[in-house]
Amino acid sequence: MRLAGIDFGAKKAGTTALAILENEVVIVEQCSKKDDADRWLMDKVEQYQPSIIAIDAPLSLPKIYSDQSVEGDYFYRKCDRTLKAMSPMFLGGLTARAIKLNRLWKRKGINVIETYPGHLAQRFDKSNLRYKKDKKHIKYICDQVNLFHNWSLKTPLDSWHQTDALLALSGVYRYSKGLTESYGTADEGLIYV
């Protein structure tokens, strides 16, 4: 079974990265600046054919937008509040793009889950002194993830976007083994870590 972790970024900023796990080897690629990240991801998913994808982006909106009969939060889902994640509403267009990709991939039979690399990083950097503090710490986080899972990286990572894709891959791997914790509610949105 092939798995994919995605750090989803702005459409043309070159900040979207994809990590693929195949036979305990991790391949990480990053979209180039000015390329359409959504098209790039669609092409990469077509190329690699993962069974399950974990994406670092909201895949739903707060429940109040789909069910006007409930009182609720207009900005955050329960999972966002619990994990101190960013609001899907603040992320706006990125959220809309992620929801669209999710729908397209599900039509192709791919299971898509939402994850949060920032929370996953705490498993590998318990003191939280290294994660996204300095690029020199990327190797440490990657080494911890690879050691934990007994994976090898095809090439060294050189950006936090690539590192977040690797952490998302860790999340989807744990999900595939039934080892994740989920935050939120099924009717509003779940984040798996």
Secondary structure (DSSP) of 78-128: HHHHHHTPPPHHHHTHHHHHHHHHHHHHHHTT-EEEEE-HHHHHHHH-TT-
pLDDT in tens, the chain (193 residues): 999 999 999 999 999 999 999 999 999 999 999 999 999 999 999 999 999 999 999 999 999 988 878 888 999 999 999 999 999 988 889 999 999 999 999 999 999 999 999 999 988 876 677 888 889 889 999 999 999 999 999 999 999 999 999 999 999 999 999 999 999 999 999 999 9
Spell out the domain ranges in the chain: 3-192
Q: What is each CA distance from 74 to 1, 90, 118, in whole angstroms?
A: 38, 11, 23
Backbone phi, psi, residue 78, to 5°:
-60, -40
Give the max Cα distance, the chain. 51
pTM above 0.85, yes or no: yes
Q: In this structure, which CATH number among 3.30.420.10, 1.10.10.10, 3.40.190.10, 3.40.50.620 belongs to the domain 3-192?
A: 3.30.420.10
Measured at the CA of 192, the angle between CA 188 and CA 193, to 5 degrees, comes to 145
What is the C-alpha separation between 138 and 143, in angstroms, rounded? 9
Q: Which two tokens stand for residue 166?
A: 């690797």
